[in-house]
């Protein structure tokens, strides 16, 4: 067993447990958005930060969901530094998720009084990764992932094309903390462009627009030459061509 102190409370816990698990098993509240007990710790939302206090070094903030319990640790879950960091994190989340009730409720609990940062377009996706990890770790599929970089990051299937590996189970809908994913997104079928061809039309999985007009698929220029069997047998003539 490991012995540590959380908020001046002596705690014993088995090896291999994280600080978040130790807090929850002992009735100490630590807010989270990207954590789920059925999934591996991810440390994306940074709301679960706690403060480690040392006798001979400066205190530091660590994510409780990924930091392992160690003998002799002194942890604070509600210090000034922790509160300030959590409030700033929520302000940044509210910059885009300012129309999300779940984020607003959590912000009020932590004392956020105003939104200092705000993007022009609202987006309830906070990139917690719960839907992506649930699809991979629980369902055993990888139909969606976090794509892009910086401000263009988003959750989508590869190349934004509807994934054939999706089984429509709805796990991503159930686990989403902000409710931005709904069953219509999972079950919807995108409409494809109609090409001017005698063949059966197919549906475009990329753009999903149904109003696009037909257009012809042009043959390659110049036209490909079909070589005869006699030509193929004569390698010298083939190389000259």
What pLDDT score was predicted for residue 205?
Answer: 46
CATH number at residue 161: 3.30.70.20
- Beta carbons of 120 and 99 less than 8 angstroms apart: no
- Whether residue 121 is contained in a domain is answered as no
Tens of pLDDT, residues 42-73: 999 999 999 999 988 899 999 999 999 999 99
If one counts the domains in the chain, the total is 3
Looking at the structure, tell me whether residues 6 and 75 fall in a common domain: yes
Phi, psi (degrees; rounded to nearest 5) at 154: -160, 165
What pLDDT score was predicted for residue 230?
Answer: 58
- Whether residue 69 is contained in a domain is answered as yes
What pLDDT score was predicted for residue 120?
Answer: 81
CATH number at residue 72: 3.10.20.740
Looking at the structure, tell me whether residues 135 and 209 fall in a common domain: no
- Beta carbons of 195 and 56 less than 8 angstroms apart: no
What pLDDT score was predicted for residue 217?
Answer: 35
Looking at the structure, tell me whether residues 75 and 94 fall in a common domain: yes
Q: Which residue range forms the structural domain that includes residue 74?
A: 2-109
What pLDDT score was predicted for residue 152?
Answer: 86
Give strand ranges (E) for 7-78. 9-13, 49-53, 60-63, 74-76
Looking at the structure, tell me whether residues 37 and 78 fall in a common domain: yes
What pLDDT score was predicted for residue 169?
Answer: 86
CA gap 77, 61 in Å, rounded: 10
Q: Which residue has the tokens 């490909």?
A: 224
Looking at the structure, tell me whether residues 99 and 53 fall in a common domain: yes
**Average pLDDT score over the chain:** 80
Looking at the structure, tell me whether residues 42 and 140 fall in a common domain: no
What pLDDT score was predicted for residue 236?
Answer: 52
Tens of pLDDT, residues 139-173: 998 989 999 988 889 898 887 777 778 888 889 99
- What sign has the CA pseudo-torsion 214, 220, 225, 226? negative
- Could you say which residues of the chain have pLDDT below 70? 185-241
């Amino acid at each position: 067993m490991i012995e540590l102190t959380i908020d001046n409370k002596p705690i014993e816990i088995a090896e291999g447990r994280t600080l978040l698990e130790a807090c929850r098993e002992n009735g100490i509240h630590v807010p989270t958005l990207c954590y789920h007990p059925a999934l591996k710790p991810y440390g994306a939302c940074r709301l679960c930060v706690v403060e480690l206090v040392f006798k001979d070094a400066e205190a530091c903030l660590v994510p409780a969901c990924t930091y392992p319990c160690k003998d002799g640790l002194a942890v604070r879950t509600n210090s000034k530094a922790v509160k300030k960091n959590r409030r700033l994190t929520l302000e940044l989340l509210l910059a885009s998720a300012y129309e999300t009730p779940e984020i607003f409720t959590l912000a009020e609990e932590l004392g956020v009084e105003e939104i200092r940062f705000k993007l022009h377009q609202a987006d309830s996706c906070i990139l917690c990764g719960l839907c992506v990890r649930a699809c991979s770790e629980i369902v055993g599929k990888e139909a969606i992932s976090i794509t892009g970089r910086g401000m263009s990051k988003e959750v989508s299937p590869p190349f934004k094309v509807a994934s054939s590996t999706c089984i429509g189970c709805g796990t991503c809908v159930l686990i989403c903390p902000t409710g931005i994913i709904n069953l219509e997104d999972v079950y919807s079928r995108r409409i494809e462009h109609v090409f001017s061809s005698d063949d059966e039309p197919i549906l475009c999985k990329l753009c999903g627009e149904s109003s696009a007009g037909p257009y012809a698929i042009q043959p390659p220029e110049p036209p490909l030459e079909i070589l005869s069997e006699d030509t193929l047998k004569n390698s010298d003539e083939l190389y000259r061509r």
